[in-house]
Structure 1
Amino acid sequence: MAVATTALVIGSSLTAYGAYYDIYGNISQENIDTDAFGDRPGKVEGALNIMIIGSDVRSGDNGDYGKAEGERPDSLIIAHISPNQDGATLINLPRDSMVNLPACEANGDKPGMAAQYGMVNSAMTFGGVQCQWKAVEQTTGIHIDHFISLDFTGFKGMVDSIGGVEMCIPSAVDDDKAHLVLEAGKQVLDGEQSLGYMRSRYGQGDGSDLSRIDRQQDFLGAMLRKVTSGEIMSSPASIYGFLGSVTDSITTDDELTLDKMTDIAISMREVDMGNIQFVTVPNGQDPADPNRVAWTQPDADRLFQAIANDTEIAEKDDDKEKEEKDDSAADDSVSAVPAEQVAVEVLNGSGVDGRGSEVADALGAKGFQITGTGNPAEGTVPAKTTVYYGSGQESHAKSVAAELKTAIVEENPLLAGSTTVQLVIAADWDGIKGGGGALPSSVEGKTAEATEDVCG
């Protein structure tokens, strides 16, 4: 929402920008002591990961939606913004997910908690946003840069400020718990109806949180299309109303400054809706409780690794992948070797700290055996990123090079007799191809451009 908000301002007049600067002070901010987390996942330079919390807090105006102890995420999303891939991916973490939660210290009126196996969203109840942030990082391996929390009342105001969102309702809905009654068919939902639609669980589909997430993704796609439409972008009054509804009702970390929001907006304003993707963590029924879900492995970790390493995420097409491999084999006298059979040492000569570990993790996620990381000896860094190999290992080196956007292969007599190839990253490093970051078959994704409209 912060991205969409600032994108509106950057795309409009300086007057609107000035108005935004004035109401920026309305945002509640919270200090998050990430140093207390201990070891954290590595950060990829340029990429940004924001934890989005749809809060179910019932205090104040939100008390109209029932009573509940404490506060927890009703929805929990990691928004991954990737300048390298020119797009964004929003990953839903089902609130019913059972994971190994880390220990959290007491925080204000929150009692803290011991390490335990529990629902992913329970961390916020015991230790606030700081504990939830730590839990998301440690269970996914994804470095979180910022958080944004939005409550029920704020969400309603945001929808009303843009004149509602058009949705297709496949069948009539009557859900007392979500305060929602809708007729079937295409219609514009106001803020109250939109909140009910986003919260509704038992009155639609199979009553599961997973089917609700699917509908939420459709709604967010429709809302993004509306927010970025010419009608909204060209109206200072609509922009100001949208900004006001957002800033009055969101909480962020105190490191998410105006300048950083503006930087995000600049990087996202030209992104096509087809490059904004919604996915849900691969999951299945938790063996210990049929009412809970567990993340499916190794598919969930493959998804998390792709996000953590900022590699391309695209729908996996096994037939196309096989055809490309076949074509490659036909044009090359050296047969490809499966990643699982290739041992790789990664040496970082790019001059960018941490890049060797990031590349090693990304190649490991693709199945390669990583034997070690380090730096090349002084004076031995090649001009171009190179995969070196010993006698009989050329096919292994080419398998590694095939996964890189820019790389050459070269035999090195010093590796004679070794079954390990050596990747030396040079200053021309241009990243890893998206093959290993492809969505596993168990991951269902949709883009903001192609969210479902069963009304036609």
Structure 2
Amino acid sequence: MPGGPSAPGGSGGPEHRDQIDPASLTTEMEAISDDVKKRREVDHTLARFSAVHDELAEQERQRKERRQKLMPWKVEHDEEATVYTSSVDGDEDSDAPSRRVRTVKHSKIVRVVKVLSLTAAVLVFVATGLGWGAMLYVDSKMTEIDALNTNSAAVHEAEKQLGDENFLIVGSDTRAGAKAEDGVGDADAEPGARSDVLMLAHIPADRKRVVVVSVPRDLEVTRPECEGWNPETAEYSGQKLAPEKGVKANQVYSDGGPRCVSTFMTELTGLTINHFISVDFNGFKGMVDAVGKIKVCVPKVMDDGELGMIFDKPGQYEVDGQKALDYVRARKVKNEDFGDYDRITRQQKFLSSLLRTALSTEMLLNPGKLNGFLNAFASSTVGQNVGVKDMLTLAQSLQGIEAGRVTFVTVPHYTDEGPTPSPNDNVEMLKMDATKALFQAIIDGTPLPDEKPAANPADQAQQTTTPAKPAGPKQGAVVDPKGLKVQVFNGDEDNDGAAARTKNALIELGFDVVNSGNGTAAGKTVIKYGVGGEDTAFTLAAAIPGATLEVDESQGGAVTLVIGPGWDEKVVAPQGGGTAEPGKTAPPPDLAVVNAGKDPCAP
């Protein structure tokens, strides 16, 4: 290996490796001449400068990109209002880079845009912060409770209920924390907490209707298996309660609290209950006062045996929270004949008026009223899935709904007078088949009696542009059954003679049964019909609660009742009301209905 130059002042031997500049080494790690070393040092310096230049250029590119995203107007104005001058005075042909100079007008525009943008950003930030803070504050005042039973096996046809909102609403009669001036009694005289009001509000996914179903407090029901509930502490006890028959509906809440009443209502209705609200007396008063005066119609004097004189003469009144509470609570009005059922009708009429007011534009756009309502709602509410954001979103989605599309209905029931009829022996019982038909009609979206049809401009426009299709079965009407020709076949092999008994019952109502007997096995009770049999089919469905209408083109103009398993053989006089589309269940014909679009003072 050839030797390298001697170190100055050295002995002529090779330098130690740790004393040799790496720039002076060849790839074979041998020392090179001084001129090569200098050239390599220059090359290294230029490489470092080049790297720094590239890094600065990339930073400038990223800065411009960020500025363009945040202030796109600035780039546009810079390009439009910038003049270029040569860096060499008087030499337009110079190759020297030119510089940009802003005009006075452009500078003013940029300053104005900056000020407006900054102001808008501050306002948005403050408004968003205040709104978010207010929602968090109101939500923090609400008591969250475990109330809902998710994935319940009692839910019927869950696929049809996707997107639906079902609110279970309990009006608790607890006196805990009540003051003497509140006029509701005290916890010592009235211990515990029962569901003084029990309602389920159904809002379908399309938000085109609202159905509110009331369950009378004194209705006799079967309480499901539940965990014990302490109404004084609002906590579950951990004790398991076995199912119990013959309890009053309001006792379900007292025994097992929110979770138990939610289980009971899911089993009764088959609906997916996804919201729970429990409001006490004071909360109800506070919400009414926050909304403002609510109109009620009093057809006659209201003198209650417990609450005293409420209205001393008939007429239309605008009531505040306390008077509204008396109006909906009164159960022993001296000139009312049906006690709790008259009270339910009053509650439904009042809530229809309250709903119209609460969902009005004036309410939603009035920050003072809206804040007062939300605070009153939150401070006296126990619930689950009822946050402020959810409630406001729901309220806004219902803004366009017409009052005639809001229906209040009471579950079908009857009075069982027992072996020794007397006012004290009467027991209120559910009509189970009619109740099932009601909630199946709700799931199917079948219109209820007096419900205003939904306007559908899109369908109307489509009808004007789409070629007419061949006529097929359409929705029918409930008419006088006299002379209507029907067939009756028994598809339940375990119910001998059902066709003959049903035939006789229908004949008594005026139907003309032209054919009857045993038929092929059926999975459920259905009414089959084709073109021309619409009115007959819908009238027959009104006489057979729970039967499902089914289009069958092979029927021609005939209408056939096929009896399926589990039918209770109840046949009732058909009455006008809601009708169902083919394949949907018709509601029971004798529903007690209050429509929110009807004047409460109208006869």
Q: TM-score, normalised by structure 1?
A: 0.69
Instruction: Compute the displacement of 1:23 (Å).
Output: 1.3
The RMSD of aligned alpha carbons is 4.1
Cross-structure match for 1:224: 355
Distance 2:521 2:600 in 1: 43
CA distance in 2, matches of 1:206, 1:322: 31
Aligned match of 1:314: 448
2:378 to 240, 247, 257: 247
Report the equivalent of 1:61: 178
What per-residue deviation string (whole Å, max 9, x for no partner) do you get for residues 167-211 of structure 1? 122222232523552232222111111101110111252251001
Q: 1:262 to 1:145 in 2, by over 3 A?
A: same
SS for the counterpart of 1:100 is strand
Using the TM superposition, name which of 36-45 and 118-127 deviates more. 36-45
Q: Which residue of 1 aligns with 2:202?
A: 80
Q: Name the structure 2 match of 1:27.
A: 142
Greater Cα radius of gyration, structure 1 or 2: 2
Structure 2: how far apart are the matches of 1:35 and 1:232? 33
Shift of 1:269: 2.3
Q: Deviations along 1:136-188, whole A, 9 cap, x unmatched? A: 12233333222101100011111111222121222222325235522322221
Between 1 and 2, higher relative CO (CA 8 Å, sep ≥ 6) is seen in 1
| In 2: Cα distance, 1:286 partner to 1:69 partner | 29
- 1:113 corresponds to 2:241: yes
Cα separation, 2, equivalents of 1:104 and 1:397: 52
Is 1:149 paired with 2:292?
A: no
The 1:195/1:258 distance shift into structure 2, 3 A limit, reads closer
Instruction: Tell me the alpha carbon deviations over residues 41-76 of structure 1, each in whole angstroms, 9 at most, x when there is no partner.
Output: 453111121110011011102675223232111010
What SS does the aligned partner of 2:448 have?
coil
Q: Look up the SS of the partner of 1:161 in the other structure.
A: helix
1:265 partner SS: helix
Match of 1:212 among 333, 337, 343: 343
| Consecutive unaligned residues in structure 1, runs of 5 or more | 1-12, 330-336, 347-363, 371-386, 388-392, 401-419, 421-431
- Cross-structure match for 1:450: 598
Task: Name the SS of the counterpart of 1:105 in structure 2.
Answer: strand
Q: Contact 1:82–1:310 at 8 Å: present in 2 too?
A: no
Aligned positions of 1:426-437 closer than 5 A: 433=581, 436-437=584-585
Distance 1:142 1:397 in 2: 36
1:156 partner SS = helix
How many residues end up aligned between the 2 structures?
Answer: 366
Residues 1:171 and 2:171 are matched in the alignment: no
Say which is worse superposed, 263-272 or 118-127, in terms of deviation.
263-272
1:199-247 Cα shifts (integer Å, max 9, x gaps): 0111252251001000111111111222233443342211111111111
Q: SS of 1:65's equivalent? A: coil
Structure 2: how far apart are the matches of 1:170 and 1:35?
A: 44
Structure 2 Cα separation of the partners of residues 283 and 345 of structure 1: 27
Partners of 1:433 and 1:178 in 2: CA distance: 47
Cα deviation 1:234-264 (Å, max 9, x = unaligned):
42211111111111111112x4445543442
Quickly say closer, same or farther: Cα 1:35–1:444, change in 2 above 3 A: closer
Question: How far apart in 1 are the matches of 2:445 and 2:308?
Answer: 41
Give 1:312 deviation, angstroms: 1.9
Indicate the residue corresponding to 1:96 in structure 2.
Answer: 218
CA contact (8 A) 1:42 1:143 kept: no
Greater CA deviation, 39-48 or 140-149? 39-48
When normalised by structure 2's length, the TM-score is 0.53
In structure 2, stretches of 5+ residues that fail to align are: 1-126, 230-235, 419-423, 452-474, 487-514, 525-543, 565-579
**Preserved CA contact (<8 Å) 1:98 1:286:** no
Partners of 1:434 and 1:18 in 2: how far apart?
50
Distance 1:160 1:306, change over 3 A: same
Q: For 1:115, give the aligned amino acid.
A: P
Identity %: 28
- In structure 2, do the counterparts of structure 1 residues 109 and 297 end up closer, same or farther at CA, with 3 Å as the change threshold? closer
Closer, same or farther: CA 434–226 of 1 in aligned 2, 3 Å: farther
- Structure 1 pair 321/176, CA: closer, same or farther in 2 (3 Å)? closer
1:138 is aligned to 267
Residues 434, 295 of structure 1: CA spacing in aligned structure 2 closer, same or farther, 3 A cutoff? farther
Amino acid in the other structure paired with 1:65 = V
Post-superposition offset of 1:19: 3.3
